[in-house]
Amino acid sequence: MQVAEELAGKISRREARVGILGLGYVGLPLAVEFAVAGLPVTGLDLDTQKVDAVNAGQSYIKDVDQDQLSRLVRSGTLRASTDLDELGRCDAIIICVPTPLSKTKDPDLTMVVEAAKAIAARLRPGQLVVLESTTYPGTTDELIHPLMEEGGLKVGESFFLAFSPERVDPGNARYNTRNTPKIIGGLTPACTRIAEQLYAHAVDTVIPVSSPRSAEMVKLLENTFRSVNIGLVNEVALMCARLGVDVWEVIDAAASKPFGFMPFYPGPGLGGHCIPIDPFYLSWKLKTLNYRARFIELAGEINSEMPEYVCARVADALNEREKSVKGSRVLVLGVTYKRDIEDVRESPALDIIRILEKRGARVSYHDPFVPELALDGLSLKSQDLLPSVKEADLVLIVTDHSTFAYPQIVESARVVLDTRNATRGLRSEKILKI
């Protein structure tokens, strides 16, 4: 195990160069943490704008402090490149590329495979490869492992392979890359040990598990748990609407129980890269094993129908005021998938805008975090808040940004449909909720 000991020694002495393949919302914060720990870091991305920004010390990720990034770049600890030959000069390579779903909700691992092939073409003895991109259980050992061994190197002996799921929560002020526990699952005990030793420099708590499959399953369980519970509470919201009961009051009252209940909240639909997507990775994998993941599929069905339900509520609210959806001015407040961030990936606001536009509504939006929005070939711009509120026939709160002055919005609006309970505590006949 001389190769393993040599690599372990490099990591211990902080001499091991870490390569981060993919400089997005997962890769860049991780690169910064390794650099802060004193390990030399090379960030790799095919997007020249990201690479140029990093090398200029400019952060494009809200959770990455620009001053800190700039200091690390100036010191030479962190640099970025588009040259994939840099992979051969790295001692540890971490894959942080996107893993979207196809239109048929099947896993699209194109970017993971391309990344793995790029590494395999340059793989040398004494390297550690870690996949962080969310995927289905079995990806690391069934897909990545064979690619890495095509050149004749042996996993656990001449190179090392592990999976460690990313657990990034954009905009979370309390938990970040450093203080969120890290799960590690290596193909062999040596792989786990070396990966654990590496991540211990950048993360406060490292938790080893028995295999990459277990580590892959951990991430899918976490987000499937959220998806299923959100699906449940969204269905409860639909039930309460029919029963004439305030779902928000019901949840708050239930949450007073000090045991046996964890509050989840309804909304206009799921957004972000993880929760709307990850459960379908698990569902897809189980279909190949002749097993139907019924909870996952039902929760996905309910959650994906919420934008349609919200638009039906918009139509009802306008109809009560003797207006049709067609020709009515609807102002969407917030288009990001969660509050106080800039990320619009999979945001339910996008589907809501599409549906309302298709029904003939004159839709505009305001979001202080998204000055421009590209949607179906159109370029929309965030409108001034209060003038737009006053002009709108209906104001639709889709994302509950903390910067919104809700009392002022309600006072200026004709009617407000609140999908997030953002107007909690305000009393007005103008306020409607899902």
Phi-psi sector, 186: left (phi>0), alpha (psi -120 to 50), beta:
beta
Provide the 3-class DSSP secondary structure of residue 94: strand
Residues with active-site annotation: 274
CB–CB of 209/187 below 8 Å? no
Give the DSSP letter of residue 101. Answer: B
Which residues are bridge partners to 162 per DSSP? 130, 186
Taking the C-alpha atoms of residue 178 and residue 349, their distance in angstroms, rounded to an integer, is 31
CA distances from 327 to 184, 360, 392, 396 (A): 54, 6, 11, 16
Query: Are residues 434 and 238 in contact, defined by beta-carbon separation less than 8 angstroms?
Result: no
Please, what is the Cα angle at 92 between 89 and 94, to 5 degrees? 115
Size of the chain, expressed as the number of residues it contains: 434
Residues 159, 126: contact at Cβ < 8 Å? yes
Residue 173 backbone zone (phi > 0: left; psi -120 to 50: alpha; other: beta):
alpha
Measure the CA–CA gap between 427 and 67, rounded to whole angstroms.
44
In this structure, are strands 18-21 and 378-381 parallel, antiparallel, or unpaired? Answer: unpaired
- Are 371 and 339 within 8 A, CB to CB? no
The helix/strand/coil state of 128 is strand
The answer to whether 233 and 254 have CB atoms below 8 angstroms apart is: no
Helix, strand or coil for residue 11? helix
User: Which H or E element spans position 250?
Assistant: helix 247-254
Instruction: Look at strands 378-381 and 372-375 and give their pairing.
Output: antiparallel
Give the list of residues 6+ apart from residue 326 with CB closer than 8 angstroms, or none: 359, 360, 361
Q: Smallest Cα–Cα separation from 195: which of 142, 187, 121?
A: 187
Contact between 94 and 33 under an 8 Å Cβ cutoff? The reply is: no
